Amino acid sequence: MDTIVDLQIVSKSFQKKMILDNVSLSIPPNKVTAIVGANGSGKSTLLKMIGGIIKPDSGQILYRNDPPIKIGYVPEQTPVFLPFTPTEYLIHMGTIRGLPIKWLKKRIDSLLEVFHLEDERNTRITHFSKGMKQKVIIMQAMLEESDLLIMDEPLSGLDLKAQNDLEELLISLKKSNISIVLTCHETKLLEEVADQINVIQDCRIIQIDNQQEHSEPLNRLVFELPKAVSIDALKHIITYEKEIDAGRRLIELNVSQKQTNKIVSEFLDRGALIRLLAPLHKRENEFFKQF
């Protein structure tokens, strides 16, 4: 198995509302896989299924068995009130999981060093900034030396410095051969950290490989804009060749692979729908198309 997790034709609904419909997704080892999409599109549901927190209604999720993978999960919402020091909190969480106390203390010392929190080890978490709290929550997910780290909107609500610190941390974790699956909408994180981008739209997944080296570096994109969005308001984003079908509110772009993730993220944030995504050198039947 050349993937660490493999979702095969997975579906999930809540109260008869379809959230994910026949979704297939392969998560490669030692890479960062990003999940993007509009609010309510099913991103968190997908992460919880990958982490084994909830089960799919149909399909199957296969995990690497040799060696078996260990999964750490970082939820979107950081606990508001944690009346502990980082050391106390991490010992508590490790003890719940049955980790040997002697080994656990050494592991916590190592994590505090990696996350640059050694000097705050005896400071109450309630006094921490949101960025520092986020680091502690990530640390608890890594107590068992996780092979796969699942993170739901890890940069949400962080100031610019905290975002930059966390981006550097993610790059460092990636270099240490930890696989990461995360949801996010920050363009910089998608461009600089993610190896693979997966867009959830209409209960399905569209995959974009974030590879810079390519013999034909242009992608063809077609978006349909909602009526509430002005085309003029998007001109600061569109810096490439374009055609506009005013009647159907379609915008067609030829963009570099380097800029594809940024453009897709910007348009999705404004409620646009992807109607076509295709490398220009591909044959017509290999296009993702949804007119």
Q: What are the DSSP calls for the chain, one per residue? A: --SSEEEEEEEEEETTEEEEEEEEEEE-TTSEEEEEE-TTSSHHHHHHHHTTSS--SEEEEEE-BTTBP-EEEE-SSPPS---S-HHHHHHHHHHHTT--HHHHHHHHHHHHHHTT-GGGTTS-GGGS-HHHHHHHHHHHHTTT--SEEEEESTTTT--HHHHHHHHHHHHHHHHTT-EEEEE---HHHHHHT-SEEEEEETTEEEEEE--S--SS-EEEEEEE--TTS-SGGGTTT--S-EEEETTTTEEEEEEEHHHHHHHHHHHHHTT-EEEEEEETTS-GGGSEE--
Answer with the one of 179, 199, 219 that is the final residue of a domain.
199
Place of tokens 């966390």: 166
| Domain hosting residue 216, numbered range | 211-289
Distance CA 178, CA 164 (A): 19
CATH of the domain at 242: 3.30.70
Q: Which residue has the higher pLDDT, 210 or 204?
A: 204
pLDDT tens-digit profile of 77-96?
777 678 899 999 999 999 99
Residue 148's nearest CA partner among 23, 291, 6 is 6
How far is residue 254's CA from residue 263's CA, in Å, rounded to a whole number? 11
Per-residue confidence band for 243, with pLDDT thresholds at 50, 70 and 90: low
Q: Please state, rounded to an integer, the average pLDDT across all residues of the chain.
A: 83
In this structure, the dihedral spanned by the alpha carbons of residues 58, 203, 41 and 142, taken in order and rounded to 10 degrees, is 50
Pair (34, 168) in one structural domain: yes
pTM: predicted TM-score of the whole model, two decimal places: 0.70
pLDDT value at 240 more than 50: no
Binned at pLDDT 50, 70 and 90, residue 287 comes out as: very low
Same-domain pairing of 35 and 142: yes
Is 173 within a domain? yes
> Is residue 240 in some structural domain?
yes
Cβ burial 138-165 (10 Å sphere, 16+ → b, else e) = bbbbbbbebbbbbbbbbbbebeeebbeb
Residue 185 lies in a domain: yes
- Provide mean pLDDT across the span 112-132: 90
Q: Are residues 236 and 264 in the same domain?
A: yes
Confidence tier at 247 by pLDDT (50, 70, 90): low
User: Do residues 122 and 259 both lie within one domain?
Assistant: no
Evaluate whether 51 touches 279 at the Cβ level (below 8 Å): no
54 and 183 together in one domain: yes
Identify whether residues 222 and 94 lie together within a single domain.
no
Pair 90, 139: CB distance under 8 Å: yes
How many distinct structural domains can be found in the chain?
A: 2
Length of the chain: 291
Of the residues 149, 164, 199, the one at which a domain ends: 199
Query: Domain for residue 205, yes or no?
Result: no
Neighbours of 184 (CB within 10 A): 22
CB atoms inside a 10 Å sphere around CB 197: 22
Same domain, 34 and 103: yes
Here the CATH number for the domain that contains residue 184 is 3.40.50.300
Dist. CA 23–CA 259, nearest whole Å: 26
Do 114 and 249 lie in one domain? The reply is no
Residue type, 61: I
Residue found by looking up tokens 């996350």 in the block: 115
Give me the half-sphere count of Cα atoms (radius 13 Å) on the Cβ side of residue 207: 11
> Final residue of a domain: which of 199, 230, 247?
199
- Is residue 206 included in any domain, yes or no? no
26 and 120 fall within a common domain: yes
Is 204 a domain residue?
no
Could you tell me if 91 and 33 lie in one domain? yes
Tokens of 51: 């982490």
The answer on 155 and 221 residing in a single domain is: no
Among 118-132, 171-185, 243-257, the minimum mean pLDDT is found in 243-257
Q: Is residue 92 part of a domain?
A: yes
162 and 275, same domain (yes or no): no
